[in-house]
Structure 1
């Protein structure tokens, strides 16, 4: 069973799907992210394909090591997501070849279903109470929203007051029947993060996510010291176990958020096991498409410290983001049932491989050459602001 072809597809709303075919007629699907670098990602997949076409598709770990380590220059989000997408497709093929879900190769089921959370509020959050009501109507008992829009190093306290007011409005409306996660998205600088975390501690949030931007992990212990009741979550931009080690060793994080389309499927499983040794929970990051969610779930169903799963149905990026056509993950499935939640939960998939059947005709029909622009947020005086 040897790899015969690897293809990439860019489909709305902003997803990069990878199809891997073997010489005996099997095929599997993976999903890459980093959509604002789509040309680089698809190019990286093509580079990997040139090296692994002809290789034994059953030797996933060997191919993973080769894709991640065989080049002198390695790592980073673009190369990592390209390798992760190919690796997911290899697992899909292996499961189909044996007629088993991937989780059966990872120790089998540790749970019967998994809780999901849903997004509300958009990039610049507003109308969150009404959106939370709609999500509750859909069966979700947990939501996440961005905390703030552009925020300067030292900014008007009214912007922090607005964050607190939004969270307070949700608590007033739903009490503790609704679990609330707040995503700082790496937009909040150190001084403002300390102030905001202290003011949010009263609300017993599910977690605060990315309280500081990438590169400032050494300040996490200082900044989060004021959050006595609030779990701290981070890790969506990390690509390997090695990158999670400092967070775990320094005891500065309560929930880690690896993304299977950066880490790869088996590496995600290894990260979960490593975090378990530190009594740290996992909430896999996945505001992505159907293959990424399906791959993440295969690990989530066999890892006991996965506490909740992100998913993208109804996400603001799916509704015509940056001029691209709108789409939802179910648009690309022959049968959406495996990824349709009931009461805000998903049951363990029973199909082979990743447990979903991608509608290849729809993927090929909607394939395009889109390129997303950077957000280019600015402060009031024209300086660059974190998105």
Structure 2
């Protein structure tokens, strides 16, 4: 079997532009993948086509060699852009492999480790940055069966915050805890916002509300800063979604400070993601992969999580996005009372609805401006 062609499709929504790929083979088996990267949909799309001379003609089963050709052999560090291009192509290859074998992806990655996957809700807090709004929406999320939910209470903060904004963030955390009770996990999203000092101030202040984790409190580039916060924080630190190679995770894990790892398959590809999950397992850590890029990424994470003994939580953004999103994939990935299972059909188990995608064209204003006031409304910039 040989890869003969690649198609790309961009689907726009105010949250971000999703980038999908479809690989064709000489045996008529096709596979789909995703290369979404916030404000870089067109850039990643260009990379997928610019590098296609490296994978057209390859056997889709040879995913490790395809990864070497698209990453090592280019002899440049394209970071998340290059990683997203690889992940899109490699996911489509795994989809083809599963279809050719007649098996769902998770069966090829180690098999069933769990009966079902516990999900946490994300993206549910669209609206004004007010404690009462967070309180009311949190109650709605729990009423749908979720036993964990994540939110960013920090507005457009960056590095340091004024005392009033600091207090508002803590009031929001308190309001959510009051809304959901003691039995539901709350997860605090930091979005790489703070200096070490500010992050630790927030960690101390939120500790009485018992968050399950404080996510990405400081920028990821200086692992020494991440480690310092993790070792001093009274709240467990989670991170990893920004890293795009094994070496970055090796450097993070060697400090034995962060034990909740949020790897991003969208930047790594499935093969490297599975290897990193093993690295985390060897360090007595758990995984909660980042799956907020788009709907295909969420399906891929479901397969990875099902096949990983050290799975902790599955991120679910899709249920709280635009209502038409559930028509982008056939069949859609469905959460039932806070839990889900990956598709059982061969491959990744879903197909693209190209008619629905065509209704929502690319818009350069569709991205998340995390440091602009009101970004939580996810209305885009166009």
TM over 0.5, shorter chain: yes
Residue 6 (structure 1) aligns with: 6
Of 255, 263, 271, the match for 1:266: 271
| 1:123–1:146 Cα contact (<8 Å) kept | no
Of 142, 151, 164, the match for 1:145: 151
Task: Please give the per-residue CA displacement for 1:171-201, whole angstroms capped at 9, x wherever unaligned.
Answer: 2222222210000101122221111111111
> How far apart are the structure 2 equivalents of 1:60 and 1:25?
19
Residue 249 (structure 2) aligns with: 244
| Residues 133 and 373 (structure 1), Cα distance of their counterparts in 2 relative to 1, 3 Å cut | closer
| 2:151–2:189 Cα contact (<8 Å) kept | yes
Residue 309 (structure 1) aligns with: 314
Residue 100 (structure 2) aligns with: 97
What is the Cα deviation at residue 123 of structure 1? 8.4
Task: Please give the per-residue CA displacement for 1:130-188, whole angstroms capped at 9, x wherever unaligned.
Answer: 11112112221110001302225443222121111111112222222221000010112
- 1:298 matched to 2:292? The reply is no
| Residues 124 and 219 (structure 1), Cα distance of their counterparts in 2 relative to 1, 3 Å cut | farther
TM-score, L = length of structure 1: 0.89
What is the Cα deviation at residue 252 of structure 1? 2.1
- 1:22 matched to 2:25? The reply is yes
> How far apart are the structure 2 equivalents of 1:312 and 1:154?
28
Residue 60 (structure 1) aligns with: 63
> How far apart are the structure 1 equivalents of 2:352 and 2:167?
45
Residue 379 (structure 2) aligns with: none
| 1:9–1:367 Cα contact (<8 Å) kept | no
Residue 84 (structure 2) aligns with: 81
Of 38, 41, 61, the match for 1:38: 41
> How far apart are the structure 2 equivalents of 1:195 and 1:53?
52
| 2:118–2:340 Cα contact (<8 Å) kept | yes
- 1:121 matched to 2:125? The reply is yes
| 2:36–2:294 Cα contact (<8 Å) kept | no
> How far apart are the structure 1 equivalents of 2:301 and 2:170?
32
| 1:164–1:200 Cα contact (<8 Å) kept | yes
Of 322, 343, 360, the match for 1:349: 343
RMSD of aligned Cα (Å): 2.0
> How far apart are the structure 2 equivalents of 1:125 and 1:142?
20
> How far apart are the structure 1 equivalents of 2:49 and 2:297?
19
Moved more, 145-154 or 44-53: 145-154
Task: Please give the per-residue CA displacement for 1:44-90, whole angstroms capped at 9, x wherever unaligned.
Answer: 01012232111112211111111111112134010110001100000
> How far apart are the structure 2 equivalents of 1:279 and 1:26?
39
The secondary structure found in structure 1 opposite 2:51 is: helix
Size of the aligned set, in residue pairs, is 366
Residue 141 (structure 2) aligns with: 135
Moved more, 274-283 or 60-69: 60-69
What is the Cα deviation at residue 277 of structure 1? 0.5
Residue 219 (structure 2) aligns with: 213
| Residues 246 and 148 (structure 1), Cα distance of their counterparts in 2 relative to 1, 3 Å cut | same
Moved more, 15-24 or 157-166: 157-166
Of 179, 189, 200, the match for 2:206: 200
> How far apart are the structure 2 equivalents of 1:370 and 1:274?
39
TM-score, L = length of structure 2: 0.90
